[in-house]
Amino acid sequence: MIVDIYTEEKGLRKFIVNGVRSKKAKTKASMLQVMSILDMVAFDREDKELNRMKEIKSAFIYQQIPFNIIKGAIGLFIAEVARKTIREKEENQVLFQYLFDTFTFLDQTDHSPSNLHISFLLGLSSFLGFIPGGDYSAETPYFDLKEGVFTNEMIGHPHFMDEHQSILLYQFLQLPLEVCHQIALNRKERKRLLQGLIEYFQLHIDNFPTINAHLILQEVLS
């Protein structure tokens, strides 16, 4: 198998793992599924794009995500967004910890996870350099997706959130991911806010590819 792994010490790396489907394999293919959290030792040469694993074992075993369809769908969405936005091959331990904490919290929380992917997107935007700026108020009731700020101006392009969406966005910006379940959203509100945030990412990341997992996620959450 050839796998992309986001590592704590080296950023995004590509590895080849031999013999994972043989009966005597030390490393099973199931360990290398999407969202797997691993403890690994690997050869790493800067002049090679593809490196080899030396040792690998599970660092965290999910208890709920594989058996909970909502948590599984949210996890796949988070994984797809992370894979299509994080491109750096340099160490970023704070970002690594954010991803680690997000997946482990998703697995362990007893609260509804239905808002977690929205909170994750806003947290990820801070690492990517375009977290929403300014504050929602009666004087600045619209969020401009192109400029990335709350504004009072009548926006002359279609890339903005209306006042209701902007209020909800600002509420998410005030709360950490662990308590985002406290924000009350109905299905329509959650869908519109997610669509707005995906558009926000498209406007601020060059060649941002199509996201597919959110379509499955919307069906699951409905």
pLDDT tens readout for residues 56-114: 999 999 999 999 999 999 999 999 999 999 988 889 999 999 999 999 999 999 999 99
Rounded distance between C-alpha atoms, residue 179 and residue 176, angstroms: 6
Domain boundaries, the chain: 1-61, 62-221
- Closest by alpha carbon to 84, among 219, 218, 214, 176? 214
- Pairing assessment for the beta strands 149-151 and 142-144 based on DSSP bridges: antiparallel
For residue 154, pLDDT over 80 is answered with no
Q: How many CA atoms lie within 13 A of 154 on its CB side?
A: 0
The CATH number of 62-221 is: 1.20.1440.120
Taking the alpha carbons at both ends of the chain, their separation in whole angstroms is 35
* Contact status, residue 180 vs residue 119, Cβ threshold 8 Å: yes
- Pairing assessment for the beta strands 2-7 and 11-16 based on DSSP bridges: antiparallel
62-221 shares the fold of 1-61: no
The CATH number of 1-61 is: 2.40.50.140
Mean pLDDT, residues 29-43: 91
Could you tell me the pTM of the whole model? 0.92
Rounded distance between C-alpha atoms, residue 150 and residue 152, angstroms: 7
